Amino acid sequence: MRHAFGTFSGILFCLAVLGCGPLDETPAIGAPQDVTLLTSDAAQLAATLYPTARENPPGLVLVHDRLGSRALFAAFATRAQREGYLSIAVELRGHGGSTAPNGTPLNPRAFSREDWMRCLSDVEAAKQALLDQGADPDNLAMAGAGLGANLVLQYASRDEDVQAIVLLSPGLSYEGIEAQEALAVYGKRPALLVTSTGDSYSASTCEELHAKAAGQCELREYEGAAHGVDLLDAVEVCTGQIFLWLEAIVGHGGHSEDSGNP
């Protein structure tokens, strides 16, 4: 399989409580770890790793929306632990505790398209962190919200190691990060599009992407106007249905809870 960004010389993990150092032991379920990731261009990213007790677990990378944070995925990532996934929620450069390559803060409100495209290295760092912690390289998925959905799609179109993607409220173009061409390059790998009827731009985007997808592409459209991660809270069955979908593709050995449970 091809890799777009090459192999990192290493990923730096820094435990918030213990200071910098390697993660030598697999923590028990229910003990998320705050870590720091070093990208290929030396940006430092805040992230939270959600471990599972399962050996060789499927991996799940979680990417927030523009001006969002990793904390927004906390409930979803906790559910992922129970489902047997090793997941990581990353804070994109310029957001929260994540900085520029020189360690100085960034203002994502002023990001150009090129700045957002550099965030693909952030997604790569999160993926590598999962592999370093024992995630199954043959069972990797990614989920993104809003602009994060477009970044996940852009990244996955460049890295065939990603077996499945979940796109919460994607748009044809957010901040110049486009979706349609990337989905064509992503090809026949599975994709799940999630949107709400009242989020008109995303809803129309999902309908267009679904119609033009080359492979296994499912569309879930819910009532209301919730956008991105808010869909997970606003629609009671949304989270459960996402994991039911993932289970058939990368969730080997996990268990699927009732789809009505968030």
| Per-residue model confidence as pLDDT tens digits over 171-183 | 999 999 999 999 9
- Residue 259 — pLDDT band, cuts 50, 70, 90? very low
pLDDT for residue 252: 62
- Residue 151 — pLDDT band, cuts 50, 70, 90? very high
Give me 143's structure tokens: 């989920």
**Does residue 215 form part of some domain?**
yes
C-alpha to C-alpha distance for 114 and 135, rounded to whole angstroms: 30
Residues spanned by the domain of 114: 14-247
pTM value?
0.86
How many domains is the chain built from? 1
Reported as a single tens digit per residue, the pLDDT across 234-243 is 999 999 999 9
Reported as a single tens digit per residue, the pLDDT across 64-89 is 999 999 999 999 999 999 999 999 99
Q: Is the confidence at residue 249, as pLDDT, over 70?
A: yes
**Does residue 6 form part of some domain?**
no
**Does residue 4 form part of some domain?**
no
Put residue 103 in one of left, alpha, beta given phi > 0 → left and psi -120 to 50 → alpha. Answer: left
**Does residue 259 form part of some domain?**
no
**Does residue 191 form part of some domain?**
yes
**Does residue 164 form part of some domain?**
yes
CATH code, domain with 121 = 3.40.50.1820
Q: Which residues contact 95 (CB under 8 A, 6 or more apart)?
A: 64, 67, 68, 69, 108
pLDDT for residue 140: 98
Q: Is the confidence at residue 170, as pLDDT, over 50?
A: yes
**Does residue 202 form part of some domain?**
yes
Work out the number of other CB atoms within 10 angstroms of the CB of residue 175.
Answer: 17
**Does residue 38 form part of some domain?**
yes
